[in-house]
Each structure stands twice: as C-alpha cells, then as structure tokens.
Structure 1
Amino acid sequence: MNGGVRLELRPSTTSTLAIDEAETAGTRIQRLVSENPVVIFSRSSSSSSCCMCDVIKRFLISSLDVHPTVIQLDDDEEIAAADVGSGNAPVAFIGGTRIGGFESLVALHLGGHLRTKLAEAGAL
C-alpha cells in the first residue's frame, strides 16, 4: 500500500487500524472487516470523499447511533479485494459480512433486520 488508504475512526475508538506492508490487499481487507463491527469502503477521489459514503455514515449515525469505520481506497488491488465496484459507490460490511451500498442498508432497515445485524456484530 503506497499511502493510498485513508482511515477515519470515530473519536471513541481505542484500537488502531494497523497497516502491515507485508499483507496482501485481500488479507488486509479481510482483517479490517473482521476487526471492526461496521466498515464502509469507498473509492476515494482526488477532490473529495464519496458522497454516498457520507450518506451511509449519516444514516447509520443519525438513525441508529452507529459509528462505522470508514476506509477510502485508492489502490486498485484493494478496491478489487473490497469489492467496492466502479465509480465511487461505497460498500458496507456488518459483522464481517458484505451488505452492499446504501440501498441494501435501507432495505435491511425497512425489513426490520438492520438493527438485529448491528446488534449481532456488537455495533449497538
């Protein structure tokens, strides 16, 4: 990883997101997903962060009081490993499971399953 990852942690987080240069991109992504209850990966852009990533964060924080770990990726290998997809569309993981983007989170919420998944992951 050549400085292409930006990490954002909630203020109350006491652990750090260690970066091991010897890890493969896939191993690093899996480790980050397994170590954090809610992770949002997005593609970063040269000018600003992904707006849909901000929408997901605001949705989770304001409606559920969940503070996700947000990781913006620049490196193509890490983007592929996180399965972020094309453009700046973010992907959320809850409890180590890939949930998808904003629409998937809202569908879980409207179906009454999002709070349960967050509680099972230890995010609530």
Structure 2
Amino acid sequence: MVDREMVHAIIKDNKVVVFSKTWCPHCSSTKKTFNELGVNFKLMELDKTEDGDIIQDILVEVTGARTVPRVFIGGESIGGNSDLQTLHSSGQLVPKLQKAGAL
C-alpha cells in the first residue's frame, strides 16, 4: 500500500512529476505541453493505479488540492494545468525546467 513517504519519494526522486487521470482533458493538456517541450517526466495515472485514491488523498495534504493534474517540478508543487500554462505563457516554465535539470 502507498503511504505518504512513498509519494514524497516519487516527488523527490523525479525532476518532473505529473499526477494525472487518463480521461482528464486538463491532464492531457499538461502532458501535451511537456511532450512538446521534450520534458522527460514521471507520469502517475491515478485511475490506472491500484492506490490512486490514496495517492490523491495524500496529494491533498501536500498541495491543498485534490484536482488533477498535480504537477511538481524540482520537488516543488506548481499546481495544476492552468498554473502550468500560466508559467509557460509568461516565459517562466522553461527556465524552471532547466533549473530542475529537466531540459
């Protein structure tokens, strides 16, 4: 069973992590943005993971939000898709990815 330490380890051990659901259009937009930028990211599809609900509950504790996607860059929660797109359109996403070593 997944616990808080395991979720923190996933976030810490990967430069970029996206907690997603396969059917979610906002998640698709996030994945598309990262794919277009050539970002190698850890993808956790919560609707395809046995402990997806538990992970989502832990993410509420970590980020204060239950919605997906939940995006982490360099161990830092940047929020969801709208936050990611705002960073991208303002020119702040690529430098953040470069600083994290993800580009």
- Shift, 1:51, TM fit: 3.0
* TM-score, length basis structure 1: 0.67
Structure 1 unaligned residues grouped into runs of 5+: 2-23
* TM-score, length basis structure 2: 0.79
Q: Percent identity?
A: 35
Which position in structure 1 is the counterpart of 2:11? 33
Which position in structure 1 is the counterpart of 2:91? 112
Give 1 or 2 for the bigger CA radius of gyration: 1
Which position in structure 1 is the counterpart of 2:41? 68
Runs of 4+ in 1 over 6 A off after TM superposition: none
RMSD of aligned Cα (Å): 1.8
- The DSSP-based 3-state class of the residue aligned with 2:72 is strand
Q: Paired residues, what number?
A: 95
Equivalences for residues 5-84 of structure 1 within 5 A: 25-42=3-20, 44=21, 48-62=22-36, 64-73=37-46, 74-83=51-60
